Chain A
Amino acid sequence: MDFSQQISQYILSGLATGAIYALIGLGFAIIYNSTGIINFAQGEFVMLGGMFGVYFHTVHNFNLAVALLLAILFAAVSGVLFERLAIRPLRRATPLGLVIITIGGSILVRGLAMLVWGKDTHALPTFSGDEPLSLAGATLLPQHMWIFALTVLLIVLSKLFFQFTITGKALRACAVNQRAAGLVGIDVRRMVMFSFLLASGMGALAGIIIAPLTMTSYDVGIMLGLKGFCAAIIGGMSNGLGTVLGGLILGVLEALGAGLISSGYKDAVTFIILLLILFLRPQGLFSRGESERV
């Protein structure tokens, strides 16, 4: 394999992981925009997606597609429960209180998952075989294609949802100004709950489609969540497309860092990027001009 082949291999597999980060990051952005909360528990719903998927598929022998849908449903319902039980009773909390509550929630969810499913790592079968494909000199698995396809599908769907449905428009209104949204008759509380539903559902999907490649266990949520947050930060928290780009950039840089520098420091690359962005451009890489809040 020559150098250019190697690079294209890193870039393509980086784009696939980047797509996952983008999905998780979109979850962060959706909740942040409707509530002003950075949900530290977001990564745990990604973990729940993967773990529920494994549970329904291997324990209950459901067909993979059914297990996938059930897992997303269950994770999304857990997200709503989390909002109802921990966030809503605390509407007047300080940012500090919210940080602590969502951290508490995240380690609670992680601990419960550990008690229920144990500490083992589990694998989900790939969606359509393991026959490698060749693309631009790089070797990819069919699962990578599934990741690209499902991510693109979901991003297009969410774009349409936010542009054309009444609920989507109401969510955007809440993002612009909660009070004003309430004054024109939008049920802000329902919208907040809805944003948790969407975010945890999206996270769960990300958790399921990555599980066949990287395995899943009760503690994968921390890293995936932080990387999703990093993607959202690069995109400036409010910009739908920005977050997607942020995820892809992060995925590619991480893959290049792992391949060319050292795989042990792969995760450090993410956090150095995170710190640099927070220090230098906390508003995100892409200018504020096109700030479309999704």
Chain B
Amino acid sequence: MRRELIKFALFAAVVLTVPAVVKGGYLLNVLVFVGINTMLAVALNLLLGFAGQISLGQAAFYGLGAYLSGILTATHGWNPWLALFAAAAAVGLLAFAIGFPILKLKGHYLAMATLGFGIIVYIVFNEYVDVTGGPSGFPGIPGLQIGDLRFDSDLKSYYLIWTTALLIMLLAVNLTRSRIGRALRAIHDSEVAARVLGVNARLLKVQVFACSAVISCIAGSLYAHTVTFISPSTFGFHFSVELLTMVIIGGLGSIYGSCLGAALLTLLPEFLRTFQDYDIVVYGLLLIVMTMFMPGGLVQGAATVWRLALRLLPAKGRGDA
């Protein structure tokens, strides 16, 4: 655990000193979105990487957070923080309620059910025009502020988003090292065996599902207050697949991997503007190739390659001598 904490502290120190190097501008703005996507990828990873339960409806919880925050603050004049917590509580309850019937399903059926839920929510964003503004979007969401500190610049948003992301990562690391984390991994490997050993698998799965939904919802609220304009297309099926790709690239069950996956998939399209239309092809290829050849993800894959290289190099040296 102590090693984990040192690793985390180093990581946090690097993240928090980045703005000193980047010095504002467009890149810092993109890094804010890396932070938001990190929260979402970690949330999905808790569910997929640890408990082994797939969800193709993560974008729905993200969107619910954004829309609830937007509607409560811009339409009803609530305090943004109050709206954020109210949205998180409401989405948590919703996820808890639908979690019981949904997580009874396994594998393909679970994927389809979460996908169906995601699409229903997406349709509501588009069709409930009086409240959500429909396909043309929902403007005028106020920014967040603490006392007199308004989060209105990229630099301030960076610290707000990344402090939250780091807290969520710390919670996730902590959770996976705990009794609950071990129980989740047991469910991943064999649900029957876990239940025989006295793990309340059903309740635990629903709790992780709800936890993952709440994190996604908070990320959605922060997104809404940061960009101040939201539209349904951000929260469609395509984004759920993008999140899945982030988690797979980073490695199932690796918290830092999720951060790496989020960073790669957020930064690369920004720098490869010419590839704009190719991104969907690239995601498809990445999902297939990673699952086939590097099921542990980039972090674990790199470690394997490194170990292989270490073993091969001295052998070669001896051979030459």
- Residues in chain A within 8 A of chain B (CB atoms): 37-38, 40, 86, 89-90, 93, 95-101, 103-112, 114-115, 222, 226, 229, 233, 262, 264-265, 267-268, 271-272, 274-275, 278-279, 282
Contacts and interface: CB of A to CB of B under 8 A. Distances in A.
Interface in B83-120: 101-102, 104-109, 111-113, 115-117, 119-120
B127 A111 contact: no
Contacts of B101: 278-279
B119 A115 contact: no
Interface string B273-288: 0000110111111111
B208 to A, nearest CB: 15
A21 to B, nearest CB: 15
Contacts of A226: 112, 115-116, 119
A109 B54 CA distance: 22
The winner among B102, B105, B116 for most chain A CB atoms within 10 A is B116
Contacts of A282: 105, 109
- Looking at chain B's contact residues, the main secondary structure is helix
B111 A99 contact: yes
Given A95-B106, A282-B105, A100 B291 contact: yes
Contact of A105 (B56, B111, B284): B284
The 8 closest A-B pairs by CB, nearest first: A108-B284, A104-B287, A111-B281, A95-B107, A38-B108, A111-B280, A264-B127, A271-B116
Interface in B101-158: 101-102, 104-109, 111-113, 115-117, 119-120, 123-124, 126-127
A101 B112 contact: no
A265 B127 contact: yes
B287 A103 contact: yes
B224 interface: no
A269 to B, nearest CB: 10
Interface of B: 48, 52, 54, 56, 101-102, 104-109, 111-113, 115-117, 119-120, 123-124, 126-127, 237, 241, 244, 248, 277-278, 280-288, 291-292, 295
A97 B291 contact: yes
Contacts of A96: 48, 52, 54, 107
Contacts of B291: 90, 93, 97, 100-101, 104
A209 to B, nearest CB: 25
A93 B287 CA distance: 14
B116 A274 contact: yes
B127 to A, nearest CB: 4
B277 A115 contact: yes
29 contacts: A38-B111, A38-B112, A86-B288, A95-B107, A97-B295, A100-B248, A103-B56, A104-B284, A104-B285, A104-B287, A105-B284, A107-B280, A107-B283, A108-B284, A110-B284, A111-B284, A112-B281, A226-B115, A262-B127, A264-B123, A265-B127, A268-B119, A268-B120, A268-B124, A275-B113, A275-B120, A278-B101, A279-B104, A282-B109
Contacts of B108: 37-38, 95, 98-99
A275 B116 contact: yes
B113 A278 contact: yes
A89 B111 CA distance: 22
Contact of B120 (A264, A271, A279): A271
Contacts of A274: 112-113, 116
Contacts of B120: 268, 271-272, 275
Nearest to A39: B108
A264 B117 CA distance: 16
Contact of A99 (B107, B126, B283, B288): B107
